[in-house]
Structure 1
Amino acid sequence: MDRCANLRLLAEYNRWMNDKVYEAAGRLDAGALAADRGAFFGSILGTLNHLVAADLIWLGRFREHPARPALLDGLDAWPVPASLDHLLYADFAELRGHRRRLDALIVDWAAALREPDLDIPLEYRNTRGVLARRDLGSLAVHLFNHQTHHRGQATTLLTQAGEDVGVTDLLMLIPNLAEIG
């Protein structure tokens, strides 16, 4: 499987897992979602907001890549996170709607990537203002790895709150060649 196909798989996995996490989180009341549980970003709501904030920051950077697709121009309509712990959406239903739209954008962005684009460096400033220059392919992998890391925290917090997210393995989205023939 080539790198672009892997990134498309990770984008679909991201959407699938976010649907599962938000389904489980939706069974909790507002107080349980906002309760400080000692996680990096405090609460389930804080953790889910962090993921949206980080995704928006990275997509904003990707928009500046020389090979960027025009579909990222729509980011102007999204909020600009002030920080990685910025609570963009205090209302869970609003957060969930934005997450779904953001996941669709990420899937479309991954589908628009081309193999040569992945080797072209992206120059950007991190959240502390430090200049960095890295290849797009590695940064895309980081985007998805970051999501998996913090979704794992959200899954743990949901489990501790009594909500089961279900199966979380990427393996579930990888075609089983033995079944295909």
Structure 2
Amino acid sequence: MSTPEHFVLLAAYNADMNRNLYAAAANLPPGELTADRKAFFGSLAGTMNHLLAGDTIWLKRFATHPADFPALAAVAEMPQPGGLSHIFSDDLPTLRRHREQLDAIISAWAPQLTAAGLAHAFEYRSTRGDVYRKHFGSVLMHFFNHQTHHRGQASTLLTQADVDIGVTDLLLWVPDLAPTTP
């Protein structure tokens, strides 16, 4: 299973990739951010809003973990999104501010994770009210994978609009190891 250090790496990767995504989106001609591209959430703005909604919903759930992560205290003040298609805004600067706020929380929270906390059986309710009880470390893997999945969709939408997001491979964030001595 993943270690706390893996989640620190994923938090850094996601924050960097989100900065790249928003910087690339800033190069779109007017109207392209909200243009219907027939993506699952319609437009690039729809996809970005979905990522914000999903992350906010999950972070609010994670704030109920018995470890009582101090970095997640700020999410208690955030309004609960109306669902996974919640629209925070169609304005890129507004979306970026919300994204940066969430990424700062995630980056501060990841180092607070422990092996014991990751092994915890975590209970939460879906947006439909269904109750689930899952291994917390596995739920966190989903949380970070969900960002990567939809950011990949956003990257495709940008590519279709002739805007390059740059290299997206996690491998570039994996630290190099010192050479071994024979």
TM-score bucket of the superposed structures, by smaller chain = over 0.9
TM-superposed CA distance for 1:119, in Å, is 0.8
Say if 2:30 is the partner of 1:26.
no
Equivalent residue number for residue 36 of structure 1: 36
Compute the displacement of 1:142 (Å). Answer: 0.5
> CA-to-partner distance for each residue in 1:6-49, whole Å, 9 max, x for gaps?
01100000001101111100111441000010111000000001
Number of aligned residues: 181
The two structures have a TM-score, normalised by structure 2, of 0.94
| Structure 1 unpaired stretches of 5+ | none
Which residue matches 1:72?
A: 72
Q: Name the SS for the 2:132 alignment partner.
A: strand
Separation in 1, partners of 2:4, 2:180: 22
C-alpha distance in 2, partners of 1:94/1:30? 16
Match of 2:123 in 1: 123
CA deviation map 1:79-137 (0-9, x unaligned):
32101011112211011011011101001111111111001111111111111001211
- Conserved 8 A contact 2:33-2:45: yes
User: What residue identity is the alignment partner of 1:151?
Assistant: R
| Residue of structure 2 equivalent to 1:155 | 155
Q: Quote the Cα distance in structure 2 between the aligned partners of 1:25 and 1:173.
A: 22
Identity over aligned pairs, percent: 51
Are 2:79 and 1:100 aligned? no
Structure 1 residue ranges (4+ consecutive) displaced by more than 3 angstroms after TM superposition: 178-181
| Structure with greater helix share of residues | 1
Cα-to-partner distance string for 1:38-87 (whole Å, 9 max, x where unaligned): 11100000000100100000000001111131221211332321010111
The TM-score normalised by the length of structure 1 is 0.95
Match of 1:51 in 2: 51
Equivalent position amino acid for 1:43 in 2: S
CA–CA separation in structure 2 for the residues paired with 1:3 and 1:30: 43
Moved more, 157-166 or 121-130: 121-130
| 1:12 alignment partner AA | A
Match for residue 85 of structure 2?
Answer: 85
